Amino acid sequence: MKRNKAWMSVLLPAVLALGACEGEDKPPSPGEGGPTVHAGFIKADETWRAAGNPHVVRGPVLVGGSQKPVLTVEAGVEIRFERKAGLMIGTTSGELGALRVEGTEAAPVLFTASAEAPQPGDWLGVTLGEGTQGSRISHATIEYAGGIFDDGEENSESWKLISAGLHLVGGPEAPEDFRPAVIEHVTLQRNAHHGVLLTKGGFAKDSLGLTLRDNAGVALRSTANEVGTLPQGTTVGGNTVNEIHVVEGPVTTSQTWPNVGVPYVLTQLMDLGVPPVLFVGSASAPVLTLSPGTELRIPGEGYISIGFQEESGTIVPGNLQAVGTAQAPIRFGPTGATAFWSGLFFYGAQDTSLEYVTVAQAGKPLFGALGGGNLNVNGDLGVSVRRSTLSGSAGCGITVTIGLNGSATDYVAEEFQNVFTGNAGGAQCNR
């Protein structure tokens, strides 16, 4: 399959620094407590202590500079953000910084709005940019954030795309595996637009315990290569949109997508004039593993490509391990009840396994000509499909492009225990 791999660049994180101004903290006198007011830039190490509660943030506070400052937030600190205030760490590669939130189960840290009757979107949120290094957030709640910087109608939709309670964002100079922070037992609640945004930046190894609840928008949106960084113990519930939105694009590193109890939905940030696609492939032949019970929903004409063919004809390898169970099958289906999508395409996908998988309502020919099956196997090399259900295709259950050896696996054979129902073009089509 030939397709230009270029896809829409994410919005530049530099816009997050707009509106910041120099300011001075107003620390409390010893023994007097807060409030402690913060504004402007933090360019040297600084600690916010529980003795100074409440901490009040006015406008965007940016942590970063040549000294690689670390902002440490002690256990039990309460931070109240005024309208259009926010906390931004290392928003450019030249302004390095770190955030260390040291909450405990007994004394968590609270990031909240300063309003007497707070609402989702009252403040901007916490952003860890491409200059963030070695950050950690432990036992913390971020709430009532996800506001937009510019309320003007002309720009509001663009600001909503980058608005969240917590945003991890890597810019053009960030490495492919940019993972700026470990999180432990962090809750995002009552935020506007998104609970969490992962934009070419993900959670570091050993993260655990992410809770996304009651957010007035999408629970979490992530660029494709960062979905696999979702922490162990992620829970999702009560959000306006109880889904994980996956921005179309490439998966270039091996990873596992956990079953968090809500579907993954392939999305585009804007209409690009071409079908949305999830690519799994790179020179390292990455493996995308889907946990039992995982559900993926694909919009009309969208598709998933395991391995892919460049315009030059070169095959870029990839691998899918979608092994469910009888009690927890893995599901691929459309975003709408009556919509058709284009299906899964396999190129150079050796050692790919689908077992206890359901694929429904695909088979719409890609670009009007390619595929035509719920599953589309090119070259018939190393794609195992067993105990799976292929149903409701606009074309065939499985379409196999016969390889150079002139043969094709018979996926309908009784030994594979596959089920084919309601496919307009029949169970298997060989071409």
At 274-331, the pLDDT tens digits run 889 999 999 999 999 999 999 999 998 899 999 988 888 888 899 999 999 999 999 9
**Peptide bond before 118: cis, by omega within 30 degrees of 0?**
no
Cα distances from 38 to residues 54, 58, 366, 378, in angstroms, run 11, 6, 54, 59
**328 alpha carbon, distance to own chain's centre:** 23
266 bridge partner residues: 246
Closest CA to 241 of 268, 270, 269, 212: 212
Q: What is the DSSP letter of 204?
A: P
Q: What is the mean pLDDT of the chain?
A: 89
Residue 43: predicted pLDDT? 95
319-323 and 287-290: which strand pairing? parallel
> Higher pLDDT residue, 177 or 237?
237
By CB neighbour count within 10 A (0-12 exposed, 13-18 middle, 19+ buried), where does 193 fall?
A: buried
Residue 273 region, left (φ>0) first, then alpha (ψ -120 to 50), else beta?
left
Residue 82: predicted pLDDT? 97
Prediction pTM value: 0.91
Mean pLDDT, residues 392-415 taken together: 87
Q: Which 3 state secondary structure label does DSSP give 315?
A: strand
Cβ count within 10 A of residue 32: 9
Residue-wise pLDDT tens digits, 34-74? 799 999 999 999 999 999 999 999 999 999 999 999 999 99
pLDDT at 24 over 80: no
User: What's the rounded Cα separation, in Å, for the pair 253 and 282?
Assistant: 8
Closest CA to 355 of 310, 391, 324: 324
Residue 371: predicted pLDDT? 85
Residue-wise pLDDT tens digits, 77-123? 999 999 999 999 998 778 899 999 999 999 999 999 999 999 999 99
Residue 10: predicted pLDDT? 38
User: What's the rounded Cα separation, in Å, for the pair 147 and 191?
Assistant: 8
Residue 403: predicted pLDDT? 64
pLDDT at 19 over 60: no
User: What's the rounded Cα separation, in Å, for the pair 181 and 127?
Assistant: 11
The domain spans of the chain are 10-247, 288-431
Percent of the chain with pLDDT over 90: 74
Going by pLDDT thresholds of 50, 70 and 90, the confidence category of residue 3 is very low
Percent of the chain with pLDDT over 70: 90
**Peptide bond before 258: cis, by omega within 30 degrees of 0?**
no
pLDDT at 394 over 80: yes
Mean pLDDT, residues 162-185 taken together: 92
Residue-wise pLDDT tens digits, 341-366? 999 999 877 789 999 999 999 999 98
Mean pLDDT, residues 213-219 taken together: 97
Q: What is the DSSP letter of 53?
A: P
Q: What is the DSSP letter of 379?
A: S
